[in-house]
């Protein structure tokens, strides 16, 4: 059941990205993705409250009924959407055609570079998601503050994503990404330095400030990496969305698993994940940018 649930959720993610790419390109796509991702990021803040409200008035099984009804509503709403893919770009549903489209995706060096960069940022994010409760609860003994702490990070990221569209208008997509990726690495490096100076456990308030800066950068990185990766592939947006999403998520999960295994009851693995994977993301995105022909 969980597997089928995951397949359904993955389908919605791929379709959403494909529709946006069919309708928008470059900076316009990045601005639209910023709005969509801002809503997505805010879900972890709102969803627990909705779940708690349902359990307060109904048995726990009602959660699954709620999800089923919600999914049905999404399916009905999706029927209102017109087809966005141009007739000349539609592919026959066959393994051979899908494989050819997949080869076209990996042949684009810009796409490969920014997909690797997205995988690194996803991996660092998953490290934090995996260790956040342990850090706040076990390392700092402040588990009661975890919902506010976790929700605050999501709110900061979502808020910056909304600002992202205005920054793109002023600076330009590719220039903004180049600047923000560099400042992100500097901020993550400073995070590591502070953690080392405090023997792995900086003051709780300082940790919140450091993570706020890091996640503020994520608000400018996540939608823009994906938008640039999709830029050369408008004619096969669906396949490209699938390959980019699956690759960045799979690599991110593998990287996160390797790093979370090193948890030592300090914040050091989290800080090193943001910094180390940030450096790789900077190298990969710079390589992809050099091969951009826009």
Cβ(270)–Cβ(256) below 8 Å: no
pLDDT number for residue 214: 95
Token reading at 146: 């975890």
Inform me whether the pLDDT recorded for 294 exceeds 70. no
Q: How far apart are CA 175 and CA 24, in angstroms?
A: 19
Least confident of 40-49, 243-252, 281-290: 40-49
Q: For the chain, what are the domain ranges?
A: 2-290
Find all residues with CB under 8 Å of 64, minimum gap 6, and list them. none
Inform me whether the pLDDT recorded for 147 exceeds 60. yes
The packing angle between helices 173-197 and 204-230, to 10°, is 150
Query: Half-sphere exposure of 174 toward its Cβ, with a 13 Å CA cutoff?
Result: 15
pLDDT number for residue 34: 80
Cβ(259)–Cβ(120) below 8 Å: no
Query: Could you read off the pLDDT of 149-196 as tens digits, one per residue?
Result: 888 888 888 889 888 888 988 899 899 999 999 999 999 999 999 999
Backbone angles phi, psi at 61, to 5 degrees: -65, -20
pTM: 0.82
Mean pLDDT of 78-99: 73
Q: How confident is the model at residue 84 (pLDDT cuts 50, 70, 90)?
A: confident
Inform me whether the pLDDT recorded for 213 exceeds 70. yes
Determine the 3-state secondary structure of 103 from DSSP: helix
Determine the 3-state secondary structure of 277 from DSSP: helix
pLDDT number for residue 146: 85
Cβ atoms < 10 Å from Cβ of 292? 16
pLDDT number for residue 178: 94
- The yes/no answer on whether domain 2-290 falls in CATH 3.90.650.10 is no
Query: Could you read off the pLDDT of 59-72 as tens digits, one per residue?
Result: 988 988 998 898 89
Query: Could you read off the pLDDT of 127-146 as tens digits, one per residue?
Result: 998 999 899 999 999 988 88
Phi/psi zone of residue 91: left (φ > 0), alpha (ψ -120 to 50 degrees), beta? beta
Nearest of 246, 276, 288, 242 to residue 120 by alpha carbon: 276
More confident residue, 107 or 201: 201
């Amino acid at each position: 059941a969980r597997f089928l649930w995951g397949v359904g959720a993955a389908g919605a993610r791929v379709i959403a990205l494909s529709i946006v790419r069919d309708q928008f390109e470059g900076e316009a796509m990045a601005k639209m993705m910023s709005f969509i991702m801002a809503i997505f990021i805010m879900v972890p803040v709102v969803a627990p409250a909705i779940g708690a409200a349902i359990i307060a008035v109904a048995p726990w099984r009602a959660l699954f009924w709620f999800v089923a009804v919600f999914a049905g509503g999404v399916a009905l709403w999706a029927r209102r959407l017109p087809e966005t893919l141009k007739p000349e770009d539609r592919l026959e549903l066959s393994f051979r055609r899908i494989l050819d489209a997949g080869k076209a995706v990996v042949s684009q060096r810009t796409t490969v570079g920014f997909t690797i960069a997205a995988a690194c940022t996803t991996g660092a994010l998953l490290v934090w998601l995996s260790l956040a409760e342990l850090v706040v609860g076990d390392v700092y003994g402040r588990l009661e503050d975890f919902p506010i702490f976790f929700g605050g990070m999501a709110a900061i990221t979502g808020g910056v994503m909304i600002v992202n569209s205005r920054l793109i208008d002023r600076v330009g997509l590719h220039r903004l990404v180049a600047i923000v990726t560099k400042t992100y690495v500097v901020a993550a490096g400073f995070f590591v330095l502070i953690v080392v100076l405090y023997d792995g456990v900086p003051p709780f308030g300082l940790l919140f400030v450091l993570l706020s800066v890091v996640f503020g950068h994520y608000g400018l990185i996540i939608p823009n990496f994906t938008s640039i990766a999709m830029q050369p592939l408008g004619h096969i947006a669906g396949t490209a969305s699938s390959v980019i999403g699956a690759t960045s998520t799979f690599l991110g999960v593998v990287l996160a698993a390797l790093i979370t295994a090193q948890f030592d009851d300090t914040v050091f693995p989290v800080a090193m994940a943001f910094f180390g994977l940030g450096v790789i993301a900077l190298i990969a995105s710079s390589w992809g940018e050099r091969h951009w022909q826009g």
